[in-house]
Structure 1
Amino acid sequence: MELLWEVAQFPLYDVWHQNDWGYILYALAHCTLGDLLILLVAYEIVAAVRHDRVWYRHSPLAGAALFTLLGVLYTFGSEIYNVRIEQSWGYTELMPVLPVLGVGGVPFLQWLLIPPVLVWLLWLLGDMGRAPDAGH
């Protein structure tokens, strides 16, 4: 999901328009792997807070809310740092920018949608992998 999202949103960043294909592919891989790392760290933080590595089975809504919030907060900080301070990337005129916050709306949408979808998929796959209860 992260790779597909990155490919879809990549034209909204100036990296797509200002560099050669080698750099574009590097940036795409870098951003995708970075997003996966953010997901893993956020998942582990939720697991530590919930004292449960399979929190998606026992408290999917509360866990998904925290999982999503962590991704959104990281994204906000990353976009502020990389766009405004470090200027390592920028937006094209196609990127919707969140009012007041002044950061890209599409990265926020990414972190509002993907974590809950992943929790839902984990929950579904977790139920598929369980043995049926005795007596049923």
Structure 2
Amino acid sequence: MPNSAMSRFVAHAGLWSALAFVFNLTWEIAHVRLYTIWAAANGMGVAWALFHCTLGDVVIALVMFVLAGMMLGRADWPVSRPWPGGVIVVIGALAFTAWSEWYNVYRAGNWAYTASMPMIFGIGLSPLMQWLILPPVIVAMYRRLGTMLFGQHKVQSTNPTQDFTRNLP
């Protein structure tokens, strides 16, 4: 990948990651009371858990951003192909989150739910809703900010097999 294409890809991924950090931190703060860490840890322990979980969410979001870009052949998919890209992100993130919640709650014992956590098939509903709601919000904000930061987007027809950085704005 040429340096200019790489720097454009990094810029797009950076914007996606920054938005993912802000929105996921907000979500983590809002639902931390549904986990036992809220009552079991001191303030610094809760703050560390919020930061740690948010960084994990950013990694999930970034991996899904790259996966959607590879599948759609465009790193600017939130602007050029928001619906298919958003679906890829939501499905991938939901699948990973369902597995991660199950594994960390029932196998590894890394965290636990309080009685207040709504459940679906034994998995906390809040982390699942997080990955159903936040990706479309991030796509919407990306479209607004991306156009301001990267310029007007000219939609072009693309071949899904082409290098996904070729048509970056």
TM-score, normalised on structure 1? 0.90
| Residue correspondences, number | 131
1:91 Cα deviation from its structure 2 partner: 0.4
Please list every run of 5 or more consecutive structure 2 residues that lacks an aligned counterpart in the other structure. Answer: 1-22, 155-169
Match of 1:121 in 2: 141
Matching residue of 1:83: 105
8 A Cα contact 2:147 2:153, kept in partner: no
Q: Whole-Å Cα distance in 2 between the matches of residues 107 and 35 of structure 1? A: 10
Q: Rate the CA distance shift 1:132–1:79 in 2: closer, same or farther, 3 A.
A: closer
Q: 1:62 to 1:22 in 2, by over 3 A?
A: same
Residue in structure 1 matched with residue 67 of structure 2 by the alignment: 45
Within the candidate set 61, 66, 70, 2:88 is matched to 66
**Greater RCO (Cα-Cα under 8 Å, separation 6 or more):** 2
Q: Deviations over 1:63-108 (max 9, x none)?
A: 101111111111101100000110110000110001xx21000101
Q: In structure 1, how many angstroms separate the alpha carbons of the residues matched to 2:113 and 2:78? A: 35
Q: Percent identity?
A: 34
Three-state SS of the structure 2 residue aligned to 1:68 is: helix
Residues 23 and 132 of structure 1: CA distance in aligned 2, closer, same or farther (over 3 Å): closer
In the alignment, structure 1 residue 24 sits paired with structure 2 residue 24: no
Q: Distance in 1 between matches of 2:63 and 2:103?
A: 19
Deviations 1:12-35, CA, capped at 9 Å, x for gaps = 000111122222111111001111
Taking structure 2 as the reference length, what is the TM-score of the superposition? Answer: 0.73
Gap runs ≥5 in structure 1: none
Q: Which residue of 2 aligns with 1:108?
A: 128
